[in-house]
């Protein structure tokens, strides 16, 4: 009788463990020129691709607290749109700073490929365009959103950039995948910015090559933040980081070209870039960011 009760108890515990370890459900819904993504029914992020915008971007990017870990523009930096991909000085065009006539990354197709299980998959095709000039780049983005747990949400952002003509990108700091953190998480507000080598703040991380960087601060009775990881398969890996204590981070080789002048990409070339964004509770140690990177590095993008 004792062993029978023990077996029943173990089966019940096992069943309850299975229930508690279930990953949150992730769903997506298209609403006009944006795709809203929900985790267990709560809004996580919206991917926005209106043709009135400079480029597609994510906002908000809500942490487990329900508050966005990114910010959406301000008077000093109106070209910082939360979590985004763009580039300045591309064949004389500007696909980063405000002003649509200077250059714009236009979404021509945005499809929800998968929704309703443990992940959402979105495919977005974009053309880089400006008046009076040939389009230099066409890109295809594959965005996968999942939630390993209720304390960590994940965006995998993969982009294939197809050169439609010979492309020259002048040396500049406005380039590629970037995030603008919420003001309360910035180093200037008491937050922490740390890279894989343990270097901290703008002074320690600016211009340093590192596979990942985490940015977090105190919020809602705990810590919360966002980490960006570069996949080892990326060209220029690990790219050096352009960082600011006021809350801007971008892993970009464009500010540090090999010749000191610019980056040339011939017509017909394709550049593949892969990033993982982790929105998490806790600091970088509690969230296991180093361990999460090892998992990401072992995966085929």
Residue 219 sits in a domain whose CATH number is 2.70.98
3 in any annotated domain: no
Name 233's Cβ contacts closer than 8 Å, sequence gap at least 6.
272, 274, 301
Entry field: residues in the chain = 301
Q: What is the pLDDT of residues 77-125, one digit of tens each?
A: 888 899 999 999 999 999 999 999 999 999 999 999 999 999 999 999 9
Nearest C-alpha neighbor of 126 from the set 60, 49, 179, 35? 49
- Answer whether residue 64 is part of any domain: yes
At 7, which helix (H) or strand (E)?
Answer: helix 2-20
Cis check: omega of the bond before 60, within 30 degrees of 0: yes
For residue 7, is it within any domain? no
The verdict on residue 11 lying in a domain is no
CA 272, 126, 133 angle in degrees (round to 5)?
Answer: 105
- Number of domains present in the structure of the chain: 1
**Residue 53: what are its φ and ψ, rounded to 5°?**
-100, 160
- Can you tell me the distance from the alpha carbon of 224 to that of 62, in angstroms, rounded to the nearest whole number? 10
User: What's the chain's average pLDDT?
Assistant: 93
Whether residue 17 is contained in a domain is answered as: no
Residue 170 lies in a domain: yes
pLDDT confidence of 173, banded at 50, 70, 90?
very high
| Inside any domain, residue 284 | yes
Q: Which domain holds residue 276?
A: 25-298
- Span 129-136, average pLDDT: 97
CA distance linking residue 260 with residue 279, whole number of Å: 34
| pLDDT tens per residue across span 186-219 | 999 999 999 999 999 999 999 999 999 999 999 9
The C-alpha atoms of residue 179 and residue 16 are separated, in whole angstroms, by 39
φ/ψ of residue 197, rounded to 5 = -90, 0
- Residue 99 counted as domain residue: yes
- pTM for the full model? 0.92
């Amino acid at each position: 009788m004792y062993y029978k009760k023990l077996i029943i108890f173990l089966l019940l515990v096992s069943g309850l463990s299975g229930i508690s370890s279930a990953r949150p459900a992730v769903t997506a819904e298209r609403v006009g020129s944006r795709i809203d993504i929900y985790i267990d029914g709560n809004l996580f992020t919206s991917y926005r691709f209106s043709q009135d915008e400079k480029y597609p971007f994510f906002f908000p990017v809500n942490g487990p607290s329900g508050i966005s870990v990114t910010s959406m523009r301000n008077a000093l930096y109106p070209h910082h749109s939360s979590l985004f991909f763009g580039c300045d000085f591309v064949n004389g065009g500007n696909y980063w700073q405000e002003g649509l006539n200077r250059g714009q990354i236009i979404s021509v197709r945005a499809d929800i490929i998968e929704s309703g299980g443990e992940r959402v998959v979105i495919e977005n095709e974009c053309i880089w365009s400006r008046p009076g000039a040939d389009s230099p780049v066409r890109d295809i983005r594959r965005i996968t959103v999942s939630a390993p747990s209720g304390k960590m949400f994940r965006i995998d952002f993969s982009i294939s950039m197809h050169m439609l003509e010979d492309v020259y990108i002048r040396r500049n700091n406005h380039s590629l995948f970037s995030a603008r953190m919420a003001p309360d998480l910035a180093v200037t507000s008491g937050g922490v910015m740390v890279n894989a080598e343990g270097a901290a703040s703008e002074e320690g991380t600016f211009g340093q090559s590192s596979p990942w960087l985490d940015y977090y601060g105190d919020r809602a009775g705990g810590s919360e933040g966002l980490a960006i990881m570069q996949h080892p398969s990326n060209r220029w890996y690990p790219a050096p980081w352009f960082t600011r204590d006021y809350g801007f981070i971008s892993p970009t080789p464009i500010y540090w070209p090999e010749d000191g002048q610019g980056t040339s990409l011939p017509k017909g070339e394709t550049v593949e870039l892969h990033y993982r964004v982790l929105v998490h509770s806790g600091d970088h140690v509690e969230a296991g960011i180093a361990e999460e990177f090892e998992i990401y590095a072992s995966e085929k993008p």
